[in-house]
Amino acid sequence: MDVIDEITLTGVRAFGRHGVYAEERERGQDFVVDATLFVQTARAAASDDVTDTIHYGEAAERIAEIVAGEPVNLLETLAERIAGDLLARPGVERVAVTVHKPQAPIPVPFADVAVTIRRSKPVDAAPLSPTGVAR
């Protein structure tokens, strides 16, 4: 079995207008995202070339763009959007995404509320030939 490695981004902060309540969408608030990308890093370690790995700066920028983008009601939906975008990157096999909403409108004292999802690329039943036909 191949070894799977992890690239983790912790505390990516961006302003967004997500939430169920109109006030949340009007005022907006900061969201914080943690993301772990499960990848093979041996090739990058051997080549010492960023093109052989996931550019975590670009991944962080994309996470911030998604948070700042089209509003959604639920943290679950926001996490799903982020996970789908990260999984679309070549070499990313699985992801774990946590979206924190530290200023959520909860009427009792709390430190944080977060949703974590884990997603994997689907495993193809049969590899495709160069012409796109299942072998």
Active site residues per annotation: 101
User: Residue 12's Cα: distance from chain center in Å?
Assistant: 10
CA separation, residue 11 to residues 93, 97, 99 (Å): 22, 11, 9
- Give the C-alpha separation, 92 to 16, whole Å: 26
The answer to whether the CB of 100 falls within 8 A of the CB of 33 is yes
